Amino acid sequence: MSPTDALPPFLYGTAWKEERTGPLVELALRQGFRGIDAANQRKHYNEAAAGEAVARAIAAGTVAREELFLQTKFTHRPGQDQRLPYDPAAPVGEQVRQSFESSLEHLRTSYLDSYLLHGPSQRPGLMEQDWEAWFAMEALHADGRVRALGVSNFDSGQLEMLLDRATVRPTFVQNRCFAATGWDWQVRQVCREHSIAYQGFSLLTANREVWLGQRVAGIGDAHSLAPAQVIFCLALELGMLPLTGTTDAAHMADALACRTGVLSATEVAELEGIALRQG
């Protein structure tokens, strides 16, 4: 079975929640989320708290591990603070292995559904340490403890470079998704050409003027949708796997109620280019 065959419709993002991470992950699972996105980057994530919450939910019978899509990331040294999940003096490949083992311990699991390289070490292009990290991730995939690999915060050129050299092709790309770039149109185009699933994050926080604008409100009124739901319905129509990190139970329910087939083709086309026309 392909790693994308049984994907949940949404991922719950755990960044920037600190001591609220555990309770919010439990709430998200009770609300119906089955995809959890984390990173072994203590600067912005509390991966261990997310794992504890998942374990509590499994123990309570809320969800079974087999029903969950657990995704986390390896983060290079410049993206970390002093709370490192690996030895900074070790080779990058060993850092990946150490971070991965730490993630399994944090998330209370023997395998990951998806493991992402949290970002390139430079722009433009890719450095040798990026390749070392990717090849170490490929080795974990070969061992069977990771079902799918991917990258985050890559531009289209970097993604093309990776595709040219990788033995295990990325299954996922996760990017901050800006309406002003046609909702990351260039990267999404590469993803479409290579059958890569695109995960979009910051769909609301990166596009506040758009989703709180009059046109989105008007489309929402026509379909009895909140403005945020319009954006999530658009994301689904564009073939994205959207992330939300909302801390509100009602907003969680609103997100999970979104589906394809609500917006018209004309509305989708208008919304896809809405910020381009505004700009």
Q: Which of 16-20, 121-125, 184-188 has the lowest mean pLDDT?
A: 121-125
Six token digits for residue 94:
């060993």
**pLDDT confidence of residue 103:** 98
Give mean pLDDT, residues 89-108. 98
Are 60 and 140 members of one domain? yes
Are 20 and 104 members of one domain? yes
The Cα–Cα gap between 17 and 37 comes to: 12
Given a cut of 70, is residue 1 above it in pLDDT?
Answer: no
| Helix H or strand E encompassing 230 | helix 227-237
Are 124 and 23 members of one domain? yes
Are 109 and 22 members of one domain? yes
Amino acid identity of residue 57, one-letter, is A
Are 170 and 213 members of one domain? no
Domains of the chain: total: 2
Given a cut of 70, is residue 278 above it in pLDDT?
Answer: no
φ, ψ of residue 256 in degrees (nearest 5): -70, -20
Are 252 and 140 members of one domain? no
Are 24 and 160 members of one domain? yes
Given a cut of 50, is residue 279 above it in pLDDT?
Answer: no
The Cα–Cα gap between 44 and 79 comes to: 9
**pLDDT confidence of residue 277:** 66
DSSP H stretches of helix in 143-205: 156-165, 185-193
Six token digits for residue 79:
């993206």
pLDDT digits 0-9 by tens, 183-198: 999 999 999 999 999 9
Are 21 and 118 members of one domain? yes
pLDDT above 70 coverage of the chain, percent: 98
| Residue 219, Cβ density class (10 Å: 0-12 exposed, 13-18 middle, ≥19 buried) | buried
Instruction: Identify which of 138, 126, 140, 187 has the alpha carbon closest to the alpha carbon of residue 166.
Output: 138
Six token digits for residue 177:
């998704």
The Cα–Cα gap between 165 and 175 comes to: 21
The Cα–Cα gap between 165 and 195 comes to: 17
Q: Is residue 62 part of a domain?
A: yes
Structural domain ending residue among the three candidates 154, 176, 198: 176
pLDDT above 90 coverage of the chain, percent: 95
- Computed over every residue of the chain, the mean pLDDT equals 96
Amino acid identity of residue 239, one-letter, is G
Are 43 and 86 members of one domain? yes
Structural domain ending residue among the three candidates 176, 191, 215: 176
Are 142 and 236 members of one domain? no
CATH code for position 115: 3.20.20.100
Examine residue 124 and say whether the peptide bond preceding it is cis (omega within 30 degrees of 0).
yes
The Cα–Cα gap between 179 and 158 comes to: 21
The boundaries of the domain holding residue 251 are: 207-279
Residue 179 CB-half CA count within 13 A: 28
The Cα–Cα gap between 114 and 3 comes to: 8
Amino acid identity of residue 242, one-letter, is P
User: Interior CA angle at 200 toward 197 and 202, to 5°?
Assistant: 170
Cβ(48)–Cβ(102) under 8 Å?
no
Amino acid identity of residue 31, one-letter, is Q
Are 20 and 134 members of one domain? yes
Going by pLDDT thresholds of 50, 70 and 90, the confidence category of residue 182 is very high
